[in-house]
Amino acid sequence: MIRWEPLTPADFPRLIQWSGSPELLMQWAGPRFHYPLDETQLAKHLKGNEGEGPERLNFKAVEIGTEEMVGHIECNRIDRSNVTSRLSRVLLNPVRRGGGLGTAMVREAVRYGFEELDLNRLELVVFDFNRSAIRCYERVGFQLEGTLREARKSGDEYWNPCIMSLLKRKAGRGL
């Protein structure tokens, strides 16, 4: 259904297009980026992929058959000592939502994290109002650990980030 390829600067225009509002950019990227997203911000962020044992790995999801880039996902805060990582910046082409590609992306992220990086724990942060994303993560096996009440400000609103995680020994049922 999908395969991962390293994200490159040639992919930046698509990410910029998909993150078309301050609210969507906050949902996708958190406070790391500011609106409007631009290639300079993305290039600086991509430098975290460099070197031996990088702190993050950014991937684009490519649909097998069409060869179309359909999403982005990041293994972030890779902690090799504690064998953990945070899945971050999960973004699906808005016109492709609802067809199972998001779930396929997250399943591949779990497989990659547990098999390729040999991690013990994966975690992610999702806002409590993003019910479709939460359902996707639950389908793959992630469990809610807690909610950080009103921990992010977006415009005049306060948002509640939820921490979800999956342990390697529990991952088999969602894959």
User: What are the structural domain ranges in the chain?
Assistant: 2-173
- For residue range 11-35, list pLDDT tens digits in order: 999 999 999 899 999 999 988 899 9
Around 5, how many Cα atoms within 13 Å sit in the side-chain half-sphere? 14
Nearest Cα to 33, choosing from 16, 50, 49? Answer: 16
The reported pLDDT for the residue numbered 171 is: 86
The reported pLDDT for the residue numbered 42 is: 97
- For residue range 119-160, list pLDDT tens digits in order: 999 999 999 999 999 999 999 999 999 999 999 999 999 999
The sign of the CA dihedral 5, 95, 131, 32 is positive
The reported pLDDT for the residue numbered 170 is: 85
In the chain, % of residues over pLDDT 90: 91
Question: 2-173 architecture in CATH?
Answer: 3-Layer(aba) Sandwich (3.40)
Supply the Cα-derived Rg of the chain in whole angstroms. Answer: 15
The reported pLDDT for the residue numbered 175 is: 55
Residue 40 burial (CB count, 10 A): 9
Please give the Cα distance from 104 to 108 (Å, whole number): 6
- For residue range 60-100, list pLDDT tens digits in order: 999 999 999 999 999 999 999 999 999 999 999 999 998 99
